Amino acid sequence: MLENSDKYFEVLNDIKRTLITTRNKIAESANKDLILTYYNIGLKLIENNKWGTSFIDTLAKDLKIEFPTIKGMSARNLRYMQKFASEFDNDEFLQHDVAKLPWSSITTIMDQVKDKEQINWYVKESINNGWARPVIIHQIASKLYERQVLLENKITNFDETLPTPNNEQAKELLKDPYIFDFITADKDVKELDIERELTTNITKLLLELGNGFAFVGRQYHLEIENEDYYIDLLFYNLKVRSYVVIELKTTEFRPEYAGKLNFYLSAVDKYVKDENDNPTFGILLCKDKKKITAELALKDINKPIGVSEYKILSEIPEFLENTLPSIEDIEKRLVENSK
């Protein structure tokens, strides 16, 4: 028996009125209306959280009897609504961002992420990149927020070599480390073998690089004064309207790597870049970025370069490897989230 039956029926009737008003839109799978309905129900449940699990359990049973054709009124989903309303208290962000995502994606993010700022970031990234649930699960498990947003991990000279706002946009694109968990070779793999694996798995590579990257070529050829030069990987980023040169090294960072990449960036700016493109920037991927050495090497370089580490599957640190879900784990979570 509920301790406060009068309050219970007040909440029940309030939710019933909400569902009566919106059930046609929900039935038509109008996503924004569904999300906002769930949010409004969640608001009504927040103040009643003090009554424990029995309150929502009873509510779910009564709603099921009253609305047998409306899905999503289980006790589990009602608790999600309650959490949803407590997490997203910014009405503008809710209506313009969160409501664009499927409910299953929202619950996945709330399940996997505890920090509110990170929740909001994963919501925005999911919308901007069109991530499906399996991709969201993988990106959270690979600690994408920590690798892409935490600026103290990034080594670049973008502030000195790129105009505003290109410098900030380029820094936002950079990750550290890059996780190439689809490359299963051993630790002694050669650079050309890694390049080959990256381009063979181009869809997965583009997912890891992030929003707006388009592949231009591997071992991209430039002929300058009868000499042949080959860029490891050349991309174009549609978001910042820049060519991006990626050089891959299977050793720790060495100062001469920055000089060579600086030359490639000058060459791309001269022979490849269009006058409407923004300056080309480079990403140097090494086994170990050697922070102080890299910072010193970039200090007087006049082209924009970022230095990051990369990890193939056999090298993923233990703390990260334990968080990466297997295909079986992802499938299991998808089944659980669909109930």
Domain extent listing, the chain:
5-100, 152-319
Residue 327: the pLDDT is 47
Q: What confidence tens digit (pLDDT) does each residue in 167-189 have?
A: 999 999 999 999 998 998 776 78
Given a cut of 90, whether residue 302 has pLDDT beyond it is yes
More confident residue, 250 or 33: 250
Q: What is the mean pLDDT of residues 130-135?
A: 93
Residue in the block written with tokens 């051993």? 186
Q: What is the mean pLDDT of residues 126-152?
A: 91
Given a cut of 50, whether residue 1 has pLDDT beyond it is no
Reported confidence tier of residue 99, pLDDT bands at 50, 70, 90: confident
Given a cut of 80, whether residue 319 has pLDDT beyond it is no
Q: For residue 109, what are the contacts with CB-CB under 8 A and spacing of at least 6?
A: 119, 122, 123, 126, 136, 140
Rounded to whole angstroms, what are the CA distances from 223 to 73, 226, 264, 267? 65, 6, 11, 10
> Using the 8-state DSSP alphabet, how is residue 277 labeled?
S
Percentages (nearest 5) of helix, strand, coil residues in the chain = 55, 15, 25
Other CB atoms within a 10 A radius of the CB of residue 164 amount to 8
Residue 284: the pLDDT is 98
State how far the Cα of 82 lies from the Cα of 44, in Å rounded to an integer.
8
Residue 122: the pLDDT is 96
C-beta of residue 210 within 8 angstroms of C-beta of residue 174: no
Angle, helix 327-337 to helix 103-112, in steps of 10 degrees: 120
Q: What confidence tens digit (pLDDT) does each residue in 234-257 have?
A: 999 999 999 999 999 999 999 999
Closest C-alpha among 139, 261, 259 to residue 209: 139
Q: Residue 85 carries which side chain, given as an amino acid letter?
A: A
State how far the Cα of 308 lies from the Cα of 294, in Å rounded to an integer.
10
C-beta of residue 137 within 8 angstroms of C-beta of residue 325: yes
For 152-319, CATH gives: 3.40.1350.10
Residue 71: the pLDDT is 86
Given a cut of 70, whether residue 84 has pLDDT beyond it is yes
Of all residues in the chain, the percent with pLDDT exceeding 70 is: 88
Residue in the block written with tokens 């030359």? 263
Given a cut of 90, whether residue 207 has pLDDT beyond it is yes
Q: What is the mean pLDDT of residues 195-206?
A: 94
Q: What is the mean pLDDT of residues 78-87?
A: 92
Given a cut of 80, whether residue 52 has pLDDT beyond it is no
In this structure, of 56-60, 150-154, 258-262, the range with the lowest mean pLDDT score is 150-154
State how far the Cα of 141 lies from the Cα of 151, in Å rounded to an integer.
19
Tokens matching residue 255: 């100062």
Tokens matching residue 308: 């990051």
